[in-house]
């Protein structure tokens, strides 16, 4: 059974589901974040468990607790774990206490503009304003000066409140020339924990990921092992359970800095699945059911290379602004090593709500060059008519020397631009 909003009434999951229940209008607050409506739908359908996906209520301790109170299994971390990691500022401080390197920043939340200005002067500009309950790049603002900070303070708080129901903000020094590397961990309820390797997520626009790959092409064996060890150690120390991602920034000198924990499955879990053969959603369900991990760290094997391109309905030539409309044609690619996850089909009307993601294209190869070549072919085959997409931008990025050499950074697209990168 799936639940859906009125805006998603004609999406592919609704058509394919054995049972589908509408939980409210297009507004996410009235539908996908409407806990009473979702719980009612689950009870009416006779469901035993709820998988929250990778957005909306997926990291909500309140939702997890309400599920427990109604005898429903929440397929994700238990409420006490979600509550511990909900506050990204507090998580950052806790990781610092156990010895993980963190980006210089505020000690907890910054509650007033004057306090933010004082912290910024200490850590040095540019600074990042970040939502403590944030995700997906929302509630983040880069400030180059005190004047910028004054202008963006209310904007960041308002966006955080609108997106997460929480206006809490903390500050971090904005590190230039860094890469985004994240470690995928699995922890059961019996003390067993493994790391399924890392993902490189440095290709971003407006702090939102565009391309992810596993393993990272930019780090060596020593750093790979160090990041995995830090992630697993922290997960065990803080009683983490289920699937989670420990995220790091890596500077030009190869030094990692912990930034946050995403206490949920992520959009890019697919690239990890392609190189490890582990079905992460299946593992989530098993752990939530009380089962032990079916494999040990020694049995984790990374085979080949995988790349994911997020195909969004957006206009790269116009600041990646969303593009809505009816899909007059929608023909995803196929072939050896290609996986496509999508909710779309020909005739589907792309709504002007939520994220503009149309599909995820994942390409696997025996090595990185083969994965890149297969992705090029897949993007060439992907036909979308009716809305603008970022497929041309993906092609240019993949063809660039910086990408081929693994020399990309998190700010590359926003500062250089796709066209300049391609040239």
CB atoms within 10 A of CB 234: 23
Which token pair is 91? 């998580």
Distance CA 155, CA 386 (A): 33
3-state secondary structure of 258: strand
**Residue recorded with tokens 């969004």:** 312
Question: Cβ distance 267 to 309 under 8 Å?
Answer: no
CA neighbours closer than 13 Å in the CB half-sphere of residue 85: 28
Q: Beta-strand (E) ranges in 81-227?
A: 127-131, 141-143, 169-173, 179-187, 193-205, 208-214
Which token pair is 89? 């500022």
Residue from 172, 162, 178 nearest 129 by CA: 172
Residue from 210, 203, 333 nearest 267 by CA: 210
3-state secondary structure of 23: strand
Q: What are phi and psi of 84, to 5 degrees?
A: -65, -40
199 catalytic residue (yes or no): no
**DSSP assignment string, 318-387:** GTTEE--EE-SEEE---STTEEEEES--TT-EE-SSS--EEEEEEEEESSHHHHHHHHHHHHHH-EEESS
Q: Pairing relation of β-strands 2-5 and 20-24?
A: parallel
Distance CA 352, CA 357 (A): 11
CB atoms within 10 A of CB 198: 26
Annotated active-site residue in 264, 310, 339, 374:
264
Q: Beta-strand (E) ranges in 9-117?
A: 20-24, 49-50, 73-74
Catalytic residues: 264
């Amino acid at each position: 059974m799936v639940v859906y909003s009125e805006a998603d009434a004609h999406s592919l999951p609704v058509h394919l589901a054995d049972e589908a229940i509408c939980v409210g209008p297009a507004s996410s607050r009235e539908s996908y974040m409407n806990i009473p409506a979702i719980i009612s739908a689950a009870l009416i359908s006779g469901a035993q468990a709820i998988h929250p996906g990778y957005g909306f209520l997926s990291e909500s301790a309140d939702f997890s607790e309400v599920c427990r109170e109604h005898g429903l299994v929440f397929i994700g971390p238990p409420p006490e774990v979600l509550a511990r990691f909900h506050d990204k500022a507090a998580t950052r401080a806790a990781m610092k206490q156990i010895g993980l390197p963190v980006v210089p920043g505020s000690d907890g939340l910054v509650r007033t503009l004057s306090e933010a200005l004082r912290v910024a002067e200490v850590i040095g500009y540019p600074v990042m304003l970040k939502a403590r309950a944030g995700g997906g790049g929302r509630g983040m603002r880069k400030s180059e000066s005190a004047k910028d900070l004054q202008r963006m303070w209310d904007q960041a708080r308002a966006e955080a409140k609108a997106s997460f129901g929480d206006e809490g903000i903390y500050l971090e020094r904005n590190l230039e020339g860094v890469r985004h590397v994240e470690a995928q961990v699995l922890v059961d309820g019996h003390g067993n924990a493994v790391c399924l390797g890392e993902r490189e997520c440095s290709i971003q626009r407006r702090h939102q990921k565009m391309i992810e790959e596993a393993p990272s092409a930019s780090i060596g064996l020593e750093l790979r092992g160090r990041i995995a060890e830090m992630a697993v150690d922290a997960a065990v120390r803080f009683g983490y359970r289920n699937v989670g991602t420990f995220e790091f920034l890596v500077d030009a000198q190869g030094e990692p800095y912990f930034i946050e924990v995403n206490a949920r499955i992520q959009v890019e879990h697919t690239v990890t699945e392609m190189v490890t053969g582990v079905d992460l959603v299946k593992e989530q369900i098993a752990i939530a059911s009380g089962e032990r991990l079916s494999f040990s760290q020694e049995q984790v094997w990374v085979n080949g290379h995988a790349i994911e391109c997020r195909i969004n309905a957006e206009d790269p030539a116009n600041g990646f602004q969303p593009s809505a409309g009816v899909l007059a044609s929608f023909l995803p690619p196929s072939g050896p090593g290609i996986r496509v996850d999508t909710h779309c089909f020909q005739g589907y009307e792309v709504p002007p709500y939520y994220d503009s993601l149309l599909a995820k294209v994942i390409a696997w190869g025996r090595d990185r060059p083969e994965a890149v070549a297969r992705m090029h072919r897949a993007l060439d085959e992907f036909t979308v008519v009716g809305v603008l997409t970022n497929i041309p931008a993906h092609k240019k990025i993949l063809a660039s020397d910086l990408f081929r050499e693994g020399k990309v950074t998190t700010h590359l697209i926003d500062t250089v631009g796709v066209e300049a990168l391609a040239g």
